[in-house]
Structure 1
Amino acid sequence: MWPTWRAAMERALYGEGGFYLRERPSRHFRTSVSASPIFAEAVLTILADVDARLGRPSRIDLVDVGAGEGTLVRHVLDLAPPSLAARLAITAVDLADRPPGLPEAITWAAAPPGSITGLVIANEWLDNVPLDFAEQTADGPRLVLVDPATGEERLGPPPEPADAEWLERWWPLPAVGLRAEIGRSRDEAWAGVVTRIVRGRAIAIDYAHPVDNRPLCGTLTGYRDGSVVPPIPDGTCDITAHVALDACAAAAERARGFSTASTTLTTQREALRALGMTGARPLLALAHTDPRTYLRALARSSQEAELIDPGGLGSFGWLSQDIEL
């Protein structure tokens, strides 16, 4: 039997013995979270802004969706000032088992809380939400089926009507042989998170592309041990595809009924630069007057530069949506 890519990805990543249920993500790929703890400083700055806009309530949520090993929330908890930490309710959301040594103050859960007042961060989560692929034929788009053992593909039936409508709106295929990644499952996943927010902000961070510049043949990729490998959905590697964040934004707006004025789509480079990250090297004169301070400042500038590099992590898309703020 040849399943759709969405079904094959679901089993390979999250089924019994699936990649994300047995592997430590940091072993296989580098993310902003693992690159530097100063990424957590940026998240804490955003959290403090949300806290202020909420009037500094007696309890404020921080929800990390796709928490992996819990690294981000560990860092935020360590960095939070006592006045905020005492009111902070942290939930790390992941299908994997709770990591050993995670502080008791952090709740580990398979789904976000039903009611959230505060900040939701989804860093490189949506790119691992399984989705289907379609290829344009002379008779219209057809789903792509896959052999999970080999990665061999064949064309299947047409997409269901809702997916066909999504393609027409968000990823039209103007020529035979072109492929699209049907992001409706990601739209639903993101909207499902945003609808849990009573008041606050939701931020999704991922490699992304806009509707007027979709890749012609898709972005399906496999990762293992820090290297790109063929995306074979047999459970031995990560399977990922870039995210149509503009479609996710629209889905959340429809689900919540708020306006596009509450939505911002930008890059990680621009988002972090707005928070004060420049990657600027310290003045060389400081090396002569205070060598230790110079070395610390140099290390920090290097980490900032990696996070905002337009050819690397800085090119990530940032979708930020405010709800009743």
Structure 2
Amino acid sequence: MTWMRWRPAMEQALYGTDGFYRRPEGPAGHFRTSVHASARYAGAVARLLGEVDEALGHPRELAFVDVGAGRGELLAGVLAAVPDALAARLRPYGVELAARPPGLPAGVVWTQTAPAGVCGLLFANEWLDNVPLDVAEVDEDGVLRHVEVDTASGHERLAEAVGGADEQWARRWWPAVEPGARVELGAPRDAAWAGAVGTLDRGLAVAVDYAHSAGSRPLFGTLAGFGSGREVRPVPDGRCDVTAHVALDAAAAPGVHSLWTTQREALRALGVSGARPPLALASSDPVAYLRALGGAGEAAELTDPGGLGGFGWLAQAVRIAVPRSLEGLGGWQTLVP
């Protein structure tokens, strides 16, 4: 057996030489994200990019930074959706550890780290849930202990008590006292997101993910595995995705004007509606009616509060006015350290 804490086990299983995210089929070979569900998602991101451009005063070069770019699906969709005038000034970046996928436009910069000092939109769709983190559990004596996992079988055991920065993070963001309660120690994700936000000179940073907040932390955690289109046991052997939901309220970079909302509300603000087309269209233009009906079905999936629409959106405006569509949601605040 090879026993490891969950954070290095996830790092190896997801991003090692033979890790899940380096496999040739890519994530789309195992599960669908909002990007794969409908081109309307990329269209909404393109609209948000246009509003960021407006808030920035239409700079000579506008960055679109796709963090956790997978195989470039969102990048390609956004590039196809933006108007020509904006596309001429757009500098697209795909941030991903896997190799550059074939077929991307030549102008896309493919890199393992987010570019520093850019102005534009940084967008991270289902990235933070795959930033490796340690898992802890409260033992029978009420002590929070690290959980170790056997990388071959997925069996677990309790190890040493949690201390230092991890203990401080748990006390502030995920206090747990009941024996058997689990804590997913999110400090590495907080640091990863703060680093991403910090690369923007001016612009908007958006993280979209499975999420929970301080008032609704799951008692037994959210660690899960996905492979071949279904949920599987989270064995960190590189054959499945290993993921955990994100404490987005903890991740929010302090000192930045911020909004925490749901994907349903954000996409509706950006014009994605699941409303059915008028029946009269079926008589006057049946083809257009069927097309609109299919689009409404895709929009309904993206905004379903029990599914993709229930995802969390963390938006942080770095030295710009809040984009028009998201401003109307209200609830923006500047977080203090």
Give the TM interval when normalised to the shorter protein: over 0.9
Does the Cα contact within 8 Å between 2:176 and 2:183 map onto a contact in 1?
A: yes
Aligned to 2:157: 154
Give 1:240 deviation, angstroms.
0.5
Aligned to 1:297: 292
Residue 121 of structure 1 aligns to a residue whose secondary structure is strand
Counterpart of 1:297 in structure 2: which amino acid?
A
Matched, 1:267 2:300: no
Match of 2:70 among 65, 68, 71: 68
Aligned to 2:271: 276
Describe the superposition over 1:149-204 as per-residue Cα deviations: whole angstroms up to 9, x where unpaired: 00011111122310000000000002111111000010000001011111000000
Aligned to 2:18: 17
Counterpart of 1:177 in structure 2: which amino acid?
G
Describe the superposition over 1:106-153 as per-residue Cα deviations: whole angstroms up to 9, x where unpaired: 111111002221000000000000000011121521000000000011
Match of 2:119 among 117, 120, 123: 117
Unaligned runs of 5+ in 1: none
Aligned to 2:87: 85
Deviates more, 1:43-52 or 1:130-139: 130-139
State the superposition RMSD in angstroms. Answer: 0.9
Describe the superposition over 1:15-42 as per-residue Cα deviations: whole angstroms up to 9, x where unpaired: 1111101141111111000001110110
Match of 1:32 among 26, 34, 44: 34
Residue 43 of structure 2 aligns to a residue whose secondary structure is helix
| Percent identity (aligned) | 56
How far apart, in 2, do the equivalents of 1:277 and 1:118 lie?
Answer: 22
How far apart, in 2, do the equivalents of 1:278 and 1:3 lie?
Answer: 46
Does the Cα contact within 8 Å between 2:142 and 2:177 map onto a contact in 1?
A: no
Aligned to 2:194: 191
Give the number of equivalent residue pairs. Answer: 317
Matched, 1:43 2:45: yes
Residue 3 of structure 1 aligns to a residue whose secondary structure is strand
How far apart, in 1, do the equivalents of 2:187 and 2:272 lie?
Answer: 34
Unaligned runs of 5+ in 2: 321-337
Does the Cα contact within 8 Å between 2:207 and 2:315 map onto a contact in 1?
A: yes
Residue 268 of structure 2 aligns to a residue whose secondary structure is helix
Residue 206 of structure 2 aligns to a residue whose secondary structure is strand
Residue 105 of structure 1 aligns to a residue whose secondary structure is coil
How far apart, in 1, do the equivalents of 2:216 and 2:179 lie?
Answer: 18
How far apart, in 1, do the equivalents of 2:312 and 2:80 lie?
Answer: 27
Describe the superposition over 1:212-234 as per-residue Cα deviations: whole angstroms up to 9, x where unpaired: 11000000110011000000001
Aligned to 1:56: 58
Match of 1:319 among 306, 314, 331: 314
Aligned to 2:239: 236
Residue 156 of structure 1 aligns to a residue whose secondary structure is strand
How far apart, in 2, do the equivalents of 1:113 and 1:79 lie?
Answer: 23
Match of 1:211 among 207, 211, 214: 214
Does the Cα contact within 8 Å between 2:10 and 2:236 map onto a contact in 1?
A: yes
Superposition misfits of 4+ residues, deviation over 6 angstroms: none
Aligned to 2:3: 2
How far apart, in 2, do the equivalents of 1:240 and 1:132 lie?
Answer: 12
Aligned to 1:248: 251
How far apart, in 1, do the equivalents of 2:278 and 2:267 lie?
Answer: 22
How far apart, in 1, do the equivalents of 2:31 and 2:40 lie?
Answer: 18
Give 1:47 deviation, angstroms.
0.5
Counterpart of 1:79 in structure 2: which amino acid?
A
Q: Give 1:113-192 correspondences, 5 Å limit.
A: 113-137=115-139, 138=141, 140-192=143-195
